[in-house]
């Protein structure tokens, strides 16, 4: 059934849908104004942890008033589903601009980065808030195309859905699991360390790199390769990725993408100023790309977790439920859905494992590590045993973290999406919305019905033809 009204707001049309809900363009019930209304699915709305995170988004965003931050208007519940209304920004986003036009002209890219940087500096200065999901898709742009050359009218940073006050520790973030788009996430966020505004500065640097070169600094086909790039490899020089760019930009990006937060620019304004100077041919202070390989200083007492350890942790402990990203840049998008490259994985049954701890040599060197080895034992031995608990089956919208990204549930119907940090229905999220009764070609396939929250299945009609039906 189509939704025509939500909490007094008249629904004009659906703007988009993601793994956890829908976004509508609505008319305010009393004011002559159009808003963007984000309506979450019932499954996630009834999750107490998620409800707390969603309400926290509203609380944080309500405290921020800035021309480059999307304005929050109201929040509530409708038919047991959480909703939030925000400023509707009519236009496009920086990611779409690059996708449609290729690398952006330097003046345009600078305008977008300057707007986002101003928003981030304001949020940190006023409320000690970090955004944690800075990326091109979250930079909303309104363009005036009436003149010969398009003019930027507004730049808005959207989706503070996974922001948190730096000094406030809550159960929602105590696990240390990070959420965000991996192509733009900082090394310290990947490692699960405490982050501050310099993590957002790194992400803004990745975003600027993408805007002027047409690609993110680290690219790969898997989450592991992207994580390895951020943690272990220097970003390529922008003048090598796109030779038409001035070489003066290279040390600017080498510094903003340094692995050690202390080596980066300490405010977005510093980065934007250096970027502007370099675009105008003013060479910044030299900064070697070798310096980007320094380990971050914000380490915990233990050694950084390797990718192997991250994946093994899923087999030796119960599931960790991390913070959730509210799905999508929701104030303007039309028809964007989550997608991911699936990686096969199976659930872990309950079993008892015999573990004997050994070392690689009697006197290990600093580069040698203590390893855990599974071995067969005899009754005369006294092994150390550990019981690995059964991983509970996830449900759609349940939060998940980097240890689970791109994994599937036992039935193969859900996967852990890195785009929204939640278990997402694989069977319909990869398809665009469909019209009820329209023709289809894959029996058993599922898709969301346009302008509704219903899911249709491709079934045989009375005449034998295949159509989308939700009954």
Active site (catalytic) residues = 133
Query: Token match 């959207």: residue?
Result: 158
Query: Token match 């944080």: residue?
Result: 60
User: Would you call 152 exposed, middle or buried from its count of C-beta atoms within 10 A (0-12, 13-18, 19+)?
Assistant: middle
Strands (E), 53-121: 72-78, 81-87, 92-93
How many other CB atoms are found less than 10 A from the CB of residue 304?
Answer: 16
How many other CB atoms are found less than 10 A from the CB of residue 288?
Answer: 12
Q: Compute the distance between CA of residue 19 and CA of residue 420 in angstroms, rounded to an integer.
A: 7
Which 3 state secondary structure label does DSSP give 411? coil
**Helix boundaries (H) for 128-222:** 187-190, 197-213
Nearest to residue 435, comparing CAs of 426, 424, 448?
448
Nearest to residue 255, comparing CAs of 279, 280, 272?
272
User: Would you call 159 exposed, middle or buried from its count of C-beta atoms within 10 A (0-12, 13-18, 19+)?
Assistant: buried
Tokens of 136: 């091109």
**Helix boundaries (H) for 13-105:** 42-45, 48-62, 94-101
- Distances from the Cα of 186 to the Cαs of 178, 258, 341, 433, in angstroms? 10, 9, 22, 34
User: Would you call 139 exposed, middle or buried from its count of C-beta atoms within 10 A (0-12, 13-18, 19+)?
Assistant: buried
Tokens of 295: 């380990």
Helix (H) or strand (E) holding 106: helix 106-127
């Amino acid at each position: 059934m189509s939704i025509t009204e939500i909490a007094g707001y008249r629904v004009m049309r659906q703007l988009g849908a993601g793994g956890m809900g829908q976004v509508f363009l609505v008319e305010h019930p009393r004011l002559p104004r159009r808003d963007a209304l984000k309506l979450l699915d019932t499954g996630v709305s009834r999750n107490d942890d998620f409800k707390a995170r969603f309400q926290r988004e509203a609380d944080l965003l309500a405290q921020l008033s800035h021309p480059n931050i999307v304005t929050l208007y109201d929040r509530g519940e409708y038919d047991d589903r959480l909703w939030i209304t925000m400023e509707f920004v009519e236009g496009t986003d920086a990611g779409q601009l690059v996708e449609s036009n290729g690398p952006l002209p330097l003046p345009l890219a600078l305008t977008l980065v300057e707007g986002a940087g101003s928003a981030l500096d304001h949020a940190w200065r006023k409320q000690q808030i970090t955004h944690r999901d800075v990326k091109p898709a979250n930079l909303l742009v309104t363009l005036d195309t009436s003149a010969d050359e398009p003019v930027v009218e507004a730049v808005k940073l959207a989706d503070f859905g996974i922001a948190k006050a730096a000094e406030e520790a809550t159960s929602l973030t105590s696990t240390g699991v990070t959420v965000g788009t991996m192509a733009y996430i900082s090394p310290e966020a990947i490692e699960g360390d405490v982050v501050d505004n310099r993590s957002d500065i790194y992400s803004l640097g990745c975003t600027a790199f993408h805007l002027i070169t047409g690609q993110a600094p680290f690219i790969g086909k898997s989450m592991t390769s992207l994580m390895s790039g951020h943690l272990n490899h220097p970003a390529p020089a922008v003048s090598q990725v796109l030779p038409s760019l001035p070489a003066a930009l290279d040390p600017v990006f080498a510094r903003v993408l340094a692995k050690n937060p202390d080596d980066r620019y300490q405010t977005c304004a510093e980065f934007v100023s250096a970027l502007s100077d370099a675009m105008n041919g003013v060479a910044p202070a030299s900064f070697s790309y070798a310096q980007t390989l320094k380990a971050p200083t914000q380490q915990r007492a233990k050694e950084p977790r390797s990718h192997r350890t991250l994946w093994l942790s899923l087999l030796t402990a119960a599931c960790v439920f991390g913070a959730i990203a509210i799905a999508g840049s929701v104030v303007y998008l039309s028809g964007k859905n989550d997608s991911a490259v699936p990686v096969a994985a199976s659930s872990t049954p309950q079993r008892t494992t015999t573990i004997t701890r050994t070392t690689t040599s009697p006197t290990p060197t600093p580069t040698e590590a203590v390893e855990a080895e599974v071995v067969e034992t005899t009754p005369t031995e006294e092994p150390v045993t550990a019981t690995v608990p059964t991983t509970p089956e996830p449900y759609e919208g349940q939060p998940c973290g980097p240890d689970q990204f791109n994994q599937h549930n036992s039935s193969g119907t859900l996967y852990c999406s890195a785009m929204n940090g939640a278990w997402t229905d694989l069977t319909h999220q990869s398809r665009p919305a469909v019209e009820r009764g329209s023709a289809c070609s894959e029996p058993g396939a599922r898709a969301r019905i346009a302008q509704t929250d219903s899911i249709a299945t491709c079934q045989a009609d009375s005449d034998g033809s295949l159509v989308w039906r939700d009954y």
